[in-house]
Amino acid sequence: MSSTRTRIIAVALAAVATVIALVVIVSVLRHPPIEPRSDSGLPVEAVTPEEISLDVTVRSDGTLAVSQLLVFDTPVGSERPVRWAIGGIGIGWIDRDRDAQYAVLPRVSQVSAQDVSSPSAEAVDLTVVRDAHVEDLFHDDVVFTIAPPDRGRWSSGRHAVTVDYVLADVFVAVEGRNLFVMPLRFPHGPEDARSYRSLTVPAGAAVECLPSNVTFAPDASCQGLREPDVESDPSVLRWTDDPFTRIDAVAFAAPGDVTAAPLVVDRHPS
């Protein structure tokens, strides 16, 4: 092949590449990336962030009493209730062959909720509805909805709601450790907004995160969460919710006054 022909081919390929680049640039300019949007149609960042604060109390029978404060914003026209889906959670693979993983199957009971939005008015009991049909606890979630008792939907504006419930079957024995496992699935606001969360366990206990996508390895630094803060007090975990995290639960050691025997953690085949 002559040098002249080689130069012609090179120039032609360069021209084609230039045209393709221009097409891509024009396409991006005409069709910018789609912003994540909330259920109200607004960008996620346009919705006031929600706040979730949880206090966990250990009971001697091996259950956890959880008290949650949920603060969220409801845009005009929203008709969705507060929702909570909870089911089986993975807490890590048994070995590197990934043949099976450890899983915890929490049982939820004694769920109650109140609207405490107005400091000058009495708290209002909310309607809690549970979908009790669950075929596979490892995959199917139990779903709760929480809504005002009269009109069935939230008025627009900022709301503060307390939710109290009890978790059973979360005191487990796994790889020589007796741990309480706290699922990171909580009642949340109707909108897909940024969510700032904090979890407080009994004083003296230290929170460890349980990555679900690696061999069982509790992590005190909680690096799998977004913007974790565990340095100021090991019994308090603060983070920003991220739907793509691979951490579905945290754990902490059982205090000395627990009289119940831990459950041997379930193994779920891959």
Q: What is the pLDDT of residues 163-182, one digit of tens each?
A: 999 999 999 999 999 999 99
Q: How many domains would you assign to the chain?
A: 2
| 12 and 77 housed in the same domain | no
Q: What angle do CA 237, 240, 246 make, to 5 degrees?
A: 85
Residues 21-42 have a mean pLDDT of: 42
Which residues form the domain of 9? 1-33
Which pTM value belongs to this model? 0.79
Report the CATH number that the domain containing residue 153 is assigned in CATH.
2.60.40
Q: Considering the domain boundaries, does residue 39 fall inside one?
A: no
Q: Looking at the predicted structure, is the pLDDT value of residue 156 above 90?
A: no
Higher pLDDT, residue 210 or 131: 210
Residues 205-226 have a mean pLDDT of: 92
Radius of gyration of the chain (CA): 24
| 71 and 15 housed in the same domain | no
| 6 and 79 housed in the same domain | no
Q: Phi and psi at residue 218, in whole multiples of 5°?
A: -55, 135
Helix or strand or coil: residue 214? coil
Helix or strand or coil: residue 175? coil
| 161 and 90 housed in the same domain | yes
Q: Looking at the predicted structure, is the pLDDT value of residue 185 above 60?
A: yes
> Which of 60-64, 113-117, 153-157 is predicted with the least confidence, judged by mean pLDDT?
153-157
Q: Considering the domain boundaries, does residue 120 fall inside one?
A: yes
